[in-house]
A and B are shown apart, each in its own frame.
Chain A
Amino acid sequence: MITLSHYLILSLILFSIGIAGVLLRRNIIIVLMSLELMFNSINISLAAFSHFLQSMTGRIFVVFTITVAAAEVAVGLAILVAVYRQRKTVYIEELDEMKH
């Protein structure tokens, strides 16, 4: 029997992997992908709550999140492409313009 806890633990594991990816990886594409992983782990927990609590709110929320995440990824990748054209690099530690 799969309970709510199983879903939540799965969500937690995926979220932690996502955080680790965002914080530790050098390649900015991987960082973006890790970000998506975090989004979707949240989506899992929302859907699970929706199912177990017999409420539609969570499912509607998931649809919204996916939509927004899609738009966000589009913008993020576009910026990434622009940065790459400018700098010829995708390594995040070389993009330290904020210091200067």
Chain B
Amino acid sequence: MVSWLILFIPLIAAVLITFVTRKQKDLSSYVSIGAVVLCFILSIDPILTLLKDPHMKPVEQGFSWINIPGLHVEIGTLLDPLSILMLFVVTFVGSLIHIYSRGYMHGEHGYSRFFACMSLFIFSMLGIVLANNFIQIYIFWELVGLSSYLLIGYYFEKPSASDAAKKAFLVNRVGDFGFILGIFVLFQATGTFNFIEINHILEKGGIPESTIYIAALLIFCGAIGKSAQFPLHVWLPDAMEGPTPVSALIHAATMVAAGVYLLARTSLLYHFSPDAMEVVAYIGGFTALLAAVIAVAQNDIKRVIAYSTLSSLGYMVMAMGVGGMTAGMFYLTTHAFFKALLFLAAGSVIHALHTQDIWEMGDVFKKLKTTGTTFILGSLAMAGVFPFSGFWSKDEILTIAFTSHHYFLFTIGILVAFVSAFFMTRLVFVTFFGKGRYHGHPHESPSVMTVPLVILAFFAVVAGFAGMPWIEPNFGSYIAGPLHGGHGEHGFNLFVAGLSTAVVIAGIALGYIVYCKELKSDPLAKNVLYNLAHNKFYFDEFYDNIIVAKVYNGIGRICNFAEVNFIIIFFVNGFAYLTRETGKVLRLTTTGKLQHYALVMVAGVVVLVLFFGVL
């Protein structure tokens, strides 16, 4: 019952704002904030249940939605450790970001529209989290896509924002197409959409391995789109056109993590297909490295954080791929805190300086003490410095990659840790220290914005302790399903922890040497690699000039040729000709003579009488 309430409260809020309180801006924001806070309060009960009993049985409630022979679709909710964790992350981070938005969005046009969309998003996201079957998760999957589209295009009068919204939606559709195909493949093999039933069938070995492999890869397409993995990563940086709280909530903390959540939800599927897991791991690792390198060369504060998000998502996906489901979910949780914090703090900086270019900032730490402090704490967590939360979650992933003998991926992970530490240091020094290059008189944001920052900073610092390997039960033992026998799947490896700490310190030191000066522009800007990274390795250009211009337009030309020469001539004109000629023949029967018609009638009666008489 509680789960249904949690699911529908945000929807009610969105409808209420749209139809009733649209004109009263303050009321709209209170309705939206109230809804998500209420959701958080309601989810405390399941969280406490889970904390009391790590081996809790999943609570499933469902009722039939479509029931015809051969197809049974239900709408339901599933409360198990995984969904309760996500429930906590989404509603808690969501609440803080909603409160922050009240200050950040102050005085914007469409204030009520913003909060209506945010509530719609929370509804859709909770729908994904609570879904107990594939059809439902797919519906809400598309709904988060829609709310993401609406919020990226919030400033729709700006062409770049509406383009970014379209791009995000379309790129996601590419992945979602694979996702729905995967769902169909699974349905054909199992005859059900229900997660628990599919898991039972999988455990009994009821599906051939080749089918599992195909289904796993197709479902991974959905995760590639939503979690912005290579090669569909191009939409996420552009999505930064949306307001900063949106970037924090949707494009860092929750929605983009939905892909990782999906992989965790279907982890049994991947467990039975090691080949698919390898693909997942390498795509994740490659994305992590690619995005980290690009992040070094970006000058827009939000884009740097966006690429760091991409890199983190790659890390999580890699964790899923090397079999570290709980490690990935742990990283997802800590990442939600520190990345939301980084975005919100960046938003606070943008709010104060009215620019997003880090080379028009500098030396603002003295003016923005709270923002600056929380931003630095978030950066330390992101870089993975001991003992911040990022250290524990990253360490767990690296340990699993190492102990499962994925040495290549382990090396990539270490490299990414180094590069992440470097670009976070760059971001902090260029934004907050060095030479002041800003205009105007910046001042600290109101407390409605700084209080959420402080709360998030607290969690960004301490959330990692929940996953310390030597406490029992730790984070992993709550989340690990029956698959891992109820234990987190890793230990503490001194070599891994030492190595990652060493490279992080090296990265920070390098960043300090290069950027802790009175700089006017980036000292690395002459570098070839820097230029490549600055232009995002030309992925957008590749897609525009090769995929769209050559492949897509080429297919378009072929279709056009076929249409003009075949469809039009044979079908359109052909049917017209046929109709005209038939009409010419049939016209002869229309004489207008009454007696001709009467004759036909009589003949008809005679034929009928004979016909039935003979029968």
Residues in chain A within 8 A of chain B (CB atoms): 19, 22-24, 92-93, 95-100
Interface code B582-593, partner A: CB below 8 Å = 1, 0 otherwise?
A: 000000001111
Contact residues in A for B590 (Cβ distance below 8 Å): 98-99
Please state if A23 and B592 are interface contacts (CB–CB under 8 Å).
no
B375 nearest CB across to chain A (Å)? 87
- Please, how many angstroms separate the alpha-carbon atoms of A55 and B598 in the complex? 33
Q: Which of B591, B595, B598 contacts A99 (CB 8 A)?
A: B591
Please state if B591 and A92 are interface contacts (CB–CB under 8 Å).
no
Contact residues in A for B2 (Cβ distance below 8 Å): none
Return the 5 tightest CB-CB contacts between A and B, nearest first.
Answer: A99-B592, A96-B592, A98-B592, A23-B595, A23-B599
Please state if A100 and B595 are interface contacts (CB–CB under 8 Å).
no
Contact residues in B for A23 (Cβ distance below 8 Å): 595, 598-599, 602
Q: Which of B591, B593, B594, B602 contacts A19 (CB 8 A)?
A: B602
- Please, how many angstroms separate the alpha-carbon atoms of A96 and B594 in the complex? 7
Residues in chain B within 8 A of chain A (CB atoms): 590-595, 598-599, 602
A90 nearest CB across to chain B (Å)? 13
**Which of chain A's residues has its CB closest to B594's CB?**
A92
- Please, how many angstroms separate the alpha-carbon atoms of A93 and B599 in the complex? 14
- Please, how many angstroms separate the alpha-carbon atoms of A97 and B598 in the complex? 16
A30 nearest CB across to chain B (Å)? 12
Please state if B591 and A96 are interface contacts (CB–CB under 8 Å).
yes
- Please, how many angstroms separate the alpha-carbon atoms of A22 and B592 in the complex? 16
Q: Which of A19, A24, A97 contacts B592 (CB 8 A)?
A: A97
A76 nearest CB across to chain B (Å)? 13
- Please, how many angstroms separate the alpha-carbon atoms of A14 and B585 in the complex? 37
**CB<8 Å pairs between A and B, sample of 21:** A19-B602, A22-B598, A23-B595, A23-B598, A92-B593, A92-B594, A92-B595, A93-B593, A93-B595, A95-B594, A96-B591, A96-B592, A96-B593, A96-B594, A97-B592, A98-B590, A98-B592, A98-B594, A99-B590, A99-B591, A100-B592
Contact residues in A for B591 (Cβ distance below 8 Å): 96, 99
B531 nearest CB across to chain A (Å)? 81
- Please, how many angstroms separate the alpha-carbon atoms of A93 and B598 in the complex? 13
**Which of chain B's residues has its CB closest to A97's CB?**
B592
The interface residues of chain A, by DSSP majority, are classed as: helix
Please state if A22 and B593 are interface contacts (CB–CB under 8 Å).
no
Contact residues in A for B595 (Cβ distance below 8 Å): 22-24, 92-93
B592 nearest CB across to chain A (Å)? 3
- Please, how many angstroms separate the alpha-carbon atoms of A95 and B602 in the complex? 20
Contact residues in B for A99 (Cβ distance below 8 Å): 590-592
Contact residues in B for A96 (Cβ distance below 8 Å): 591-594
**Which of chain B's residues has its CB closest to A94's CB?**
B593
7 additional contacts (CB under 8 A) given A24-B595, A97-B592, A99-B592? A22-B595, A92-B595, A95-B594, A96-B592, A98-B592, A98-B594, A99-B590
Contact residues in A for B598 (Cβ distance below 8 Å): 22-23
**Which of chain B's residues has its CB closest to A99's CB?**
B592
- Please, how many angstroms separate the alpha-carbon atoms of A92 and B594 in the complex? 7
A83 nearest CB across to chain B (Å)? 12
Residue of B591, B594, B599, B602 with most partner-chain A CB within 10 A: B594
A91 nearest CB across to chain B (Å)? 11
- Please, how many angstroms separate the alpha-carbon atoms of A100 and B592 in the complex? 8
Contact residues in A for B593 (Cβ distance below 8 Å): 92-93, 96
A1 nearest CB across to chain B (Å)? 28
Contact residues in B for A95 (Cβ distance below 8 Å): 594
Contact residues in A for B594 (Cβ distance below 8 Å): 92, 95-96, 98
- Please, how many angstroms separate the alpha-carbon atoms of A97 and B590 in the complex? 11
A59 nearest CB across to chain B (Å)? 25
**Which of chain B's residues has its CB closest to A28's CB?**
B594
B115 nearest CB across to chain A (Å)? 68
- Please, how many angstroms separate the alpha-carbon atoms of A88 and B191 in the complex? 79
- Please, how many angstroms separate the alpha-carbon atoms of A95 and B599 in the complex? 16
Contact residues in B for A19 (Cβ distance below 8 Å): 602
- Please, how many angstroms separate the alpha-carbon atoms of A22 and B598 in the complex? 8
**Which of chain A's residues has its CB closest to B605's CB?**
A19
**Which of chain B's residues has its CB closest to A22's CB?**
B598
Contact residues in B for A22 (Cβ distance below 8 Å): 595, 598
- Please, how many angstroms separate the alpha-carbon atoms of A24 and B592 in the complex? 15
- Please, how many angstroms separate the alpha-carbon atoms of A61 and B599 in the complex? 27
**Which of chain B's residues has its CB closest to A93's CB?**
B593
Residue of A23, A92, A95, A97 with most partner-chain B CB within 10 A: A23
- Please, how many angstroms separate the alpha-carbon atoms of A19 and B595 in the complex? 11
Contact residues in A for B599 (Cβ distance below 8 Å): 23
A41 nearest CB across to chain B (Å)? 14
- Please, how many angstroms separate the alpha-carbon atoms of A92 and B599 in the complex? 14
- Please, how many angstroms separate the alpha-carbon atoms of A99 and B602 in the complex? 20
Contact residues in B for A97 (Cβ distance below 8 Å): 592
- Please, how many angstroms separate the alpha-carbon atoms of A24 and B598 in the complex? 10
- Please, how many angstroms separate the alpha-carbon atoms of A6 and B179 in the complex? 82
**Which of chain B's residues has its CB closest to A92's CB?**
B594
- Please, how many angstroms separate the alpha-carbon atoms of A100 and B602 in the complex? 24
- Please, how many angstroms separate the alpha-carbon atoms of A24 and B591 in the complex? 16
- Please, how many angstroms separate the alpha-carbon atoms of A96 and B596 in the complex? 11
- Please, how many angstroms separate the alpha-carbon atoms of A95 and B592 in the complex? 8
**Which of chain B's residues has its CB closest to A24's CB?**
B595
A85 nearest CB across to chain B (Å)? 19
A16 nearest CB across to chain B (Å)? 10
**Which of chain A's residues has its CB closest to B599's CB?**
A23
**Which of chain A's residues has its CB closest to B597's CB?**
A98
A96 nearest CB across to chain B (Å)? 4
B601 nearest CB across to chain A (Å)? 10
B606 nearest CB across to chain A (Å)? 10
**Which of chain A's residues has its CB closest to B595's CB?**
A23
- Please, how many angstroms separate the alpha-carbon atoms of A24 and B590 in the complex? 18
B27 nearest CB across to chain A (Å)? 70
- Please, how many angstroms separate the alpha-carbon atoms of A23 and B605 in the complex? 14
Contact residues in B for A93 (Cβ distance below 8 Å): 593, 595
- Please, how many angstroms separate the alpha-carbon atoms of A19 and B599 in the complex? 9
- Please, how many angstroms separate the alpha-carbon atoms of A93 and B602 in the complex? 18
Contact residues in B for A92 (Cβ distance below 8 Å): 593-595
- Please, how many angstroms separate the alpha-carbon atoms of A95 and B597 in the complex? 13
**Which of chain B's residues has its CB closest to A19's CB?**
B602
Contact residues in B for A100 (Cβ distance below 8 Å): 592
B171 nearest CB across to chain A (Å)? 62
- Please, how many angstroms separate the alpha-carbon atoms of A23 and B593 in the complex? 11
- Please, how many angstroms separate the alpha-carbon atoms of A92 and B598 in the complex? 12
